[in-house]
Structure 1
């Protein structure tokens, strides 16, 4: 969304009867609001208070935010006595997918060796598919969640052994 498009959007909202407007496109969220014309009349006939606000003079709120999700995988030591197992935890809240489509093979299986940078799963959050990649060379010891299961931030996904 370029500057000219944003200006046209602001003008359109200003000229409309809308009091607030919010849109998210191309990773940018725009939120606008305006105050309607307000007229206050007193029941006292001697005193009339007229507080009108011109909506063309007032554009109350315009905010821009870059939408982004940090998909860095947190790997923490597991409390096992042998000290070789690690846990890969979910970096975000969403739906866990073991493969890129239902007809495809899973990215990883128990016993598979994974190289740094390989996709180990996908977590869908707000209609965005976030590929979760291995941050080191691992062997998958256990998969702790089911395909299409909802996962929480920090929830263990895999038990792995560092190679």
Structure 2
């Protein structure tokens, strides 16, 4: 009987209306008792040589948990380093110069100024940000191709919030 099986038995007991459960299996005796509103009491009694087996299983589980944590830490380190190397110098990030409402088109019945894949020139209008009833046209600072639009139409944007990514043409 492994630790997972014991955990499953404990969960089953918790979720049942049983008040008492006793299991004897291969020299291992497990006794669980529930006591009214005071909470659940679970006793695990281990006989003779099986105590060493359960301790070995427990140690094995702890070792796996530690290895898993180390692997996840290594994965995070790899992911962070990959992100750092993937940062492309040819991508220009356009941020909101003011706080306001983001509009992707000049009016609801008109098409968007730009879409992902649109080619833009320096000075082309990318969007409008409305602040205090004033419509502020946000223009491209570079020539290139829009690779990502990070704000949604009629969404509030904050000062400095990333709203576009443009791949700069050479």
TM-score, length-scaled by structure 1? 0.50
Paired residues, number = 86
1 CA distance for matches of 2:125 and 2:158? 19
TM-score, length-scaled by structure 2? 0.48
Matched with 1:130 is 136
Paired residue secondary structure (2:107): coil
Over 3 Å off, 4+ runs = 78-82
Matched with 1:83 is 89
Which residue among 99, 104, 111 is the counterpart of 2:117?
Answer: 111
RMSD: 1.6
1 CA distance for matches of 2:91 and 2:122? 17
Contiguous gaps of at least 5 residues in structure 1: 1-77
Q: By percentage of residues, which structure has more helix?
A: 2
Matched with 2:59 is none
Contiguous gaps of at least 5 residues in structure 2: 1-82
2 CA distance for matches of 1:141 and 1:150? 21
Which residue among 121, 126, 142 is the counterpart of 1:120?
Answer: 126
Alignment of 1:1-163 (within 5 A): 80-163=86-169
1 CA distance for matches of 2:131 and 2:87? 35
Q: Residue deviations 1:61-104, cap 9 Å, x none?
A: xxxxxxxxxxxxxxxxx964343222100000000000000010
